[in-house]
Amino acid sequence: MMHNVNLGPSNLSIAPLIFGGNVFGWTVDEQSSFALLDAFVAAGFNSIDTADVYSSWVPGNTGGESETIIGKWLKQRGKRDDLVIATKLGAHNAGLSAAYMKTAVEASLKRLQTDYIDLYIAHYDDPATPVAETMDAFNALIKEGKVRYIGASNLSAARIKAANQYARENGLEPYISIQPQYNLYDRKPFETEYLPLVEQEHLGVTSYYALASGFLSGKYRTAADLDKSARGNGIKQYLNDRGMRILNALDEVSEMIYAPISQIAIAWQLHKPYITAPIASATSLVQLNDLMAAAQLKLSSEHLALLDDASDTEQ
């Protein structure tokens, strides 16, 4: 049995893995998206992450395709209140001004075919807009019942801290979670900049790129492997000595416990007390089953030490 946990100081109870909706409308069509979401929920998971900008990078797309697919699925399945839906706004320099946020939330609600968003996340910072304006606007949406809780993604720790301080001083709801890039390879930015804030503010952490764009699945080990998927170009940065050291450690643990290395990479995160739930995407039921099994995988202190040492950012 999986153990659900509350996200930070909220009452959003989520299973230990979140489905990343960035693939919907990109490498997964609508029919396949429905099948993946059905299997995910049937296995006991309950949280889906998306953004209003997904998947605008695909030729012919404008953004919102992922939300639209999720919305159709929610409408057909009728299980909205059983799920935790997170979406984001503010990408591509759209900003976090009060006027824009009011427009953005209405567009997301319409695409998602829902009356409320469980977790509304500031996707990127807007330095031109004061944190006071952004937090006031977020809280207006909470008071209107359109948003339950708010979180932050690619904002600096200092900016998040300032926003939450303003919220506390003015009787407003603060950010209750952050969504940072974090995995066995990409450790240093989170552990040095954000972890102290997470502990101080008791923030929930829903990490993205849990498998480093697929690198930690082990199927990309040489430059020749980069043509295996649409994500190949983003994986090239990991093909270095440290990346190979991490894969070797994952291989070693895999031989010890007879589990795929993708499962081990996610399980490593789930053994960290500060990680609430990693976000991971799948484009097939085979991949999804592999990811979901990671939530039940137990690693020993020996396994964790081996992975921690191989991925040490100081080496």
**Active-site residue flag, 274:** no
Separation between Cα atoms, residue 236 and residue 77, nearest integer Å: 39
108: left (phi over 0), alpha (psi -120 to 50) or beta: alpha
Cis bond before residue 13 (omega within 30° of 0): no
Nearest in space to 207 (alpha carbons), one of 274, 126, 286, 156: 274
**74 CB neighbour count, 10 Å cutoff:** 18
- Which of 54, 124, 182, 238 is an active site residue? 54
Cβ 144 vs Cβ 115: under 8 Å: no
Contact (CB, 8 A) for 109 and 115: yes
pLDDT in tens, 9-55: 999 999 999 999 999 999 999 999 999 999 999 999 999 999 999 99
| pLDDT computed for residue 220 by the predictor | 84
Q: What's the pLDDT tens digit per position in 82-131? A: 999 999 999 976 799 999 999 999 999 999 999 999 999 999 999 999 99
Tokens standing for residue 227? 């043509």
Query: Which amino acid, 96?
Result: L
Which pair of structure tokens corresponds to residue 273?
């007390």
What confidence category does residue 1 fall into, taking pLDDT thresholds of 50, 70 and 90? low
Residue 307 has pLDDT above 90, yes or no: yes
